Amino acid sequence: MLSEILDFLGSLHPLIVHLPIGIILLTIAIDVFMRNKNNSIQRVITMGWFFSFFSGLLAVLFGWFLGDNGYYLESQITIHRWSGVALVGVFFIIWILRYLNFRFSRSTNRSINMTAIFLLLVTGHYGGEMTHGQNYLFENLPYVKKKISVMSISEVKRSETDSIFVYEDLVYPVFEEKCMACHNQNQTYGGLNMSSFESIVKGGKSGAGIQKGSPFESLVYKRVSFPQNHPKFMPPTGVPLSYDQIAILEWWIDNGAERQMPVTLARKEPKIQRLMELQYGLDLREKSYLETLKLRTLSQNDLKALEDERYIWRFINPEESFLDVKFTAKKIQTPDLLNIQKVKENVTWLNLTDCMLNDDHLNYLSAFPNLTRLKIQRNQSVTDSGIEALKELKNLNELNLYGTRISDAAFISLGKIKSLKKLFVWNTLVTPGGIQSFIEQHPEVEVIGGL
Contact 335, 305 (CB under 8 A): no
Of the residues 17, 224, 435, 447, which one makes contact with ligand HEC according to CB under 6 A: 224
Contact 341, 367 (CB under 8 A): yes
Q: Give the footprint of ligand HEC on residues 240-299 (CB under 6 A).
A: 241
Of the residues 133, 236, 262, 415, which one makes contact with ligand HEC according to CB under 6 A: 236
Q: For the CB of residue 275, give the shortest distance to ligand HEC in the complex, in Å.
A: 18
Q: Is 71 in the site for ligand HEC (CB under 6 A)?
A: yes
d(C-alpha 430, C-alpha 410), whole Å:
8
**Nearer to ligand HEC (CB atom), residue 129 or residue 384:** 129
- Which of 234, 214, 231, 238 has the alpha carbon at shortest distance from 223? 234
Q: For the CB of residue 169, give the shortest distance to ligand HEC in the complex, in Å.
A: 17
Q: Kind of pairing, strands 323-327 and 311-315?
A: antiparallel
Q: Is 178 in the site for ligand HEC (CB under 6 A)?
A: yes
Q: For the CB of residue 182, give the shortest distance to ligand HEC in the complex, in Å.
A: 3
Q: Is 219 in the site for ligand HEC (CB under 6 A)?
A: yes
225 — phi, psi (to 5°)? -105, 5
Q: For the CB of residue 74, give the shortest distance to ligand HEC in the complex, in Å.
A: 9
Of the residues 127, 203, 386, 434, which one makes contact with ligand HEC according to CB under 6 A: 203
| Alpha carbon distance, N-terminus to C-terminus of the chain | 85
Of the residues 35, 106, 147, 205, which one makes contact with ligand HEC according to CB under 6 A: 205
User: What count of other Cβ atoms lies within 10 Å of the Cβ of residue 330?
Assistant: 9
Kindly state the DSSP code that residue 102 receives in the 8-state scheme: P
- Which of 91, 98, 87 has the alpha carbon at shortest distance from 46? 98
Q: Is 232 in the site for ligand HEC (CB under 6 A)?
A: yes
Kindly state the DSSP code that residue 166 receives in the 8-state scheme: I
Q: Give the footprint of ligand HEC on residues 179-198 (CB under 6 A).
A: 179, 181-183, 189-192
Q: Is 70 in the site for ligand HEC (CB under 6 A)?
A: yes
* 3 state SS of 349: strand
**Nearer to ligand HEC (CB atom), residue 70 or residue 213:** 70
The strand pairing partners of 400, in sequence order, are: 375, 424
- Residue range at the interface with ligand HEC (CB under 6 A); choices 69-77, 163-171, 332-340, 430-438: 69-77
DSSP string for 222-246: HHHHS-TTSTT-SSSSSPPPPHHHH
Kindly state the DSSP code that residue 406 receives in the 8-state scheme: -
Number of residues counted as binding ligand HEC (CB under 6 A): 29
* Binding interface with ligand HEC (CB under 6 A): 70-73, 178-179, 181-183, 189-192, 203-207, 209, 219-220, 223-224, 232, 234-237, 241
